[in-house]
Amino acid sequence: QVQLVESGGGLVQAGGSLRLSCAASGRTFSSYSMGWFRQAPGKEREFVAAISRDGGTTNYADSVKGRFAISRDNSKNTVYLQMNSLKFEDTAVYYCAARTRAGVMVVASYNYWGQGTQVTVSS
């Protein structure tokens, strides 16, 4: 089992940057593929980015490709989401999640979730 705690959210102007962090408990962090999802008010939770267990493979939603970058440091049990050129429509609660099942972009594939961190982009 793994517990996830996100941090780094906040209020930023459009065009600005934020870096989210997700700290994981436990000794088996490197056993999990990790993902970032987001949920805006009144909308379903959606996939943002994912990274493989060794960090060698990443995936992005089309809406963030070229602006966001996911990375991980297995020695620190932490996954990051660098968000650049933020847009108003990036406003949402951002969640990190861990999975052992197949399905990179599928919410149901992720076993464990953090509590979320709010990102608000002002236009």
CA–CA gap between residue 90 and residue 64 (Å, rounded): 9
pLDDT value, residue 56: 96
pLDDT value, residue 26: 79
Q: 67-107, pLDDT tens digit by residue?
A: 999 999 999 999 999 999 999 999 999 999 999 988 889 99
Residue whose token pair is 């999990």: 32
pLDDT value, residue 116: 98
- Classify residue 37 as exposed, middle or buried by CB count within 10 Å of its CB (0-12, 13-18, 19+): buried
CA–CA gap between residue 47 and residue 35 (Å, rounded): 8
Mean pLDDT value of segment 53-60? 96
- Average pLDDT over all residues of the chain: 96
